[in-house]
Amino acid sequence: MASSIRPGPLAGRTRLRTTIIALAALAVAAAATLGPRVFSAAADEFDGAHCDVPGGVPGTSDSLLPDPFTMTDGSPVTTTAEWECRRAEIKELAERTIYGDKPDPPSSVSGSVSSSNITVNVSDQGASTSFSASVTTPGGSGPFPAVIVYGGFGADTDTILGAGAAIIEYDPGSVGAEGTGRNNKQGAFYDLYGSSSGTGVLMAQAWGVSRIIDVIEQSGGNILTNSTGVTGCSRYGKGAFVAGAFDQRIDLTMPIESGTGGVPAMRSIAQESDAQPLSSAYDEEPWLGDAFSSYTGNPSGLPVDTHEIVGMIAPRGLFIMENPHVDWLGATSGSVAALGGAEIYDALGAGNNISYWSDVSDGTHCASRSEWQSPLQQSIQAFLHDSGQAPGVFRVSSSKSGNLDQWRNWQTPTLEDGPGETSEPPETSEPPETSEPPETSEPPETSEPPETTQPPAGDCSAVIEVVNDWGSGWQANVSVTGPTDGWTLSWNWPGSQGISSSWNAQISESGSSVTASDVGWNGGIASGQTQQVFGFIGSGPATEPTVTCNSN
């Protein structure tokens, strides 16, 4: 992954929104060369309202994952402001080809919030509908952050309540029903937008989540108005994933075992043995939009893929949980999409805000797993309580470990802030008195550093940093400091350590000796520049051995 800095989570949505408001004027200028469509969605639900997005669907035939850092017109994304408009492009293309349109916020939303129930009343385009959700609060006094649980079937509710968050049990079928034909879709969404709408059930259900958030923001009560999570498992995991991607008010998204139509990369899942085929997911239920019929046998024609939907959630909290024991769920392709989406998190300097965990012992579909309990608690504390650090862990099952480098030919930039975008001004504009240079420009004789503090000229250096340790395994990131046009690293384990999975490097182990080399795109590093180049999951006791770096 690209970024060498992994900060903690943003404090709720407030910091992100403040930054985006400051970016808006610059982003409009950055997007001025795009096409004619101007979004009218509310900035709270979607922060790309200022972006112009080209109409139509660009033709493509690429078996590799699309580059999330290249605009439709071919220009590179280099700043956070440009990413906002690239995200707007991804959103629109995903609606046109995969999920169907999510309408702009309706003309009227009202309702009520109590300690046991939420009612939602919606009017738009001359039609009205309503639905409700039940509420369970943890012990103590509120108001509480809340996790919207699809069908009561997602992340462990006892753990959520124990972490001090309320449960909003949402019946997604009341908004977008399963078991219906594509020309006779049912539920509150289709009451407003027509039973023959091309929007699939997953997007309809995500629209319902947004309307629940509308009512919470209006009514408050015992539920906090700015600390919301969403979770679901299996088909409900697909729904939770879409809800988190298409509403930026959701602070923590937790899809579980979502399978085809959820997190797994569509190009990859089409080639993953025994995973549910795209055509099967399309035909089983009207989950996906009607337009996806053109891509069930041609995923390389999609202008987007699910690694970019993962990236739409960035930099907000995301904890993806998968089951490698059920082939139908396509966990290998899930890891490909998660690793690809994590590159977007890293580019935004928020690499710690995404976690992925498929290394579980229990193979039962949608079981409450002990391995997930601790990172679930950490995620709720970090993103809904703004306390502590996010888990920031990638624990990938060795039996279902995808290789991102086989699926991309693009590099990950570190997105910069444009002038005046996100930098906080210093408290005083006066420089400190000591900032004046000395009268003489000659350095003192003792200013030369000891020979051992810097690598020899022309050499690279590297370090291994343990970023997560769960006892039976651990995660490490590896950073290289240039100059180098290509690197090979070597080290020796001090004990029984080994590497169970890795990404973005070619690894070979022989006894206690390890060699790692670049994969091409991450080999070039300028002199003095430090870049996080790859990561791995280790076995045995966690350790940070001394690394030797050689330039190729």
Q: Name the residues annotated as catalytic.
A: 234, 365
**Sign of the C-alpha dihedral computed for residues 65, 104, 117 and 10 taken in this order:** positive
Q: Backbone phi, then psi, for 317, in 5-degree steps?
A: -70, 140
Sequence-ordered list of residues with C-beta below 8 angstroms from that of 427, at least 6 positions apart, any chain: none
Q: Write out the E strands in 470-512.
A: 474-481, 487-492, 498-503, 506-510
Give the max Cα distance, the chain: 84
Residue in 483, 488, 486 with CA at minimum distance from that of residue 459 = 483
Cis peptide before 545 (omega within 30 of 0): no
Backbone angles phi, psi at 39, to 5 degrees: -70, 145
Whole-angstrom distance between the N-terminal and C-terminal Cα of the chain? Answer: 20
Measured distance CA(294)–CA(297) in Å, rounded: 7
Q: Return the structure tokens found at 542.
A: 């966690």
3-state SS string for 400-448? HCCCHHHHCCCCCCCCECCCCCCCCCCCCCCCCHHHCCCCCCCCCHHHC
CA distances, 361 to each of 318, 323, 372, 393 (Å): 22, 9, 11, 17
Distance CA 48, CA 38 (A): 9
